[in-house]
Amino acid sequence: MSTAAEVEAAVARAWEVRKELAGLPASVRAGALDHLSRGIAERADEFTAVNVSENGKPEKWAAAETARAVSTFRWAAEEARRWSGDLQRLDTDPAATGRLALVRRVPRGPVLGIAPFNFPLNLVAHKVAPALAVGAPIVLKPAPATPRSALLLAELLAETDLPEGAWAVLTMSNEETAALVKDPRLPVVSFTGSVPVGWSIRDAVPRKHVILELGGNAAVVVCEDTPDLDWAASRTATFAMYQAGQSCVSVQRVLVAASIYDDFRDRVVKQVANLSVADDVGPLINEDAAIRVESWVTEAVDAGAHLLCGGSRSGATIVPTVLEGVGAGAKVVDEEVFGPVMVLSAFDSVEDAFASVNDSRFGLQAGVFTSNLQTAFRAGAVLEVGGVIINDVPSYRADQMPYGGVKDSGTGREGLASAMHDLTEEKVLVLTGIDL
């Protein structure tokens, strides 16, 4: 664990180096990010093994996360090279004849990045990469349960030409982080994690720029005109249960057109039953988390829900679980399960389904399976979420695209260019007497 002196030194150096880092040539910042991308690729097996050992994640999902981190840093390097600003003519008004504005984005200041346990490498990458791309020092606090992936990344960071203080990885408890959140030398806080903690951070520092990537209870809508029911069932089953459901966009609520409900239910239950707990699902982060998920399932069943498969627990592992007939107000519907549990229900009209999706305090992403273009655009217009995925599950994410939610799912966006905008603010240079 980092000592108090080490924490102070990291924050002090980040504050001292902020102007030097912001003034570095784009080639230096992009080169460092390229080095991280190449280094992870060259040591992919090592990064994957560390992820498995500290997180319990099945190897195939850990390997996929490693590959995504390679891509995330590569995209950041490319965006760093494109980070140029805009020219704006001001002579559209006669009084501004001969004037031209150069609008650039500059770092708001050093960033405190707080990362979660469920993606201990790639969500760390989504803190580090955009900060370094814009020239903002970053003090990174990985999750206490999974610090080793971040520390392994730090070995690669230490090989770059970035100045001392440009980055630091601090291993500390969640309680100790509260003082860092309030430190005025860290004017930006980027947090990914639970809803209560996220909003408490924003409440604690209302004058800071706070970016929150929080939870969700992601919904899938399976329409009557779904082009391929087997594909829909397979994707829904896989991404409700992958990584033991420990993803903010894990499939949780599945709304199916009444006319195809029985058919789809049979297909998805068969797909879930074919999943390997060891190779496809994996354990939860600890036994306490598994006990909580088990209690929520038991509560729903005791209230009248029908258990279609799964529901049992062994240590930190929950057998993939499918429920139907879940009553209103059940935690497995209203809250974020963050476990391998999906809830099936039928709908009569697409508008009813969309209303059910919106009947949630969360709004991260949603998936809609349909072959109707009008339905697809309608979903994009009315669903109260940060992203709508057509003919796939809400778990889909390309690391370069804007990613984030509304309502209790947070504020701000990740995805390299979007995050770079979030970490910076506009600064205008007006040139006068220019012959345009």
Angle ∠(264,268,271) on CA atoms, nearest 5? 145
| Cα-based distances in Å from 40 to 26, 45, 125, 244 | 21, 9, 11, 25
Please state, in angstroms and rounded to a whole number, the distance separating the CA atoms of residues 331 and 308: 18
Instruction: Categorise residue 329: left if φ over 0, alpha if ψ from -120 to 50, beta otherwise.
Output: left
Type of residue at 163: P
How far apart CA 26 and CA 39 sit, in angstroms, is: 20
* Residues 6+ away with beta carbon under 8 Å from 305: 323, 324, 325, 326, 327, 330, 332
Q: What SS3 class is residue 368?
A: strand
- The CA-based diameter of the chain, rounded to the nearest angstrom, is 77
Q: Which two tokens stand for residue 117?
A: 């346990």
CA dist 294 and 331 (Å) reads: 11
Is residue 46 annotated as part of the catalytic site, yes or no?
no
Which is the catalytic residue, given 213, 294, 324, 336? 213
93, with CB counted inside 10 A (0-12, 13-18, 19+), is: exposed
Active site residue 248: yes
Q: DSSP code of 143?
A: -
Q: Across the strands, what pairs with 347?
A: 257
Catalytic option among 223, 248, 336, 414: 248
For residue 162, the 8-state DSSP code is: P
3-state secondary structure of 364: coil
Measured distance CA(126)–CA(268) in Å, rounded: 33
| Torsion over CA: 47, 52, 57, 58 (sign) | positive
> Catalytic positions, please?
213, 248
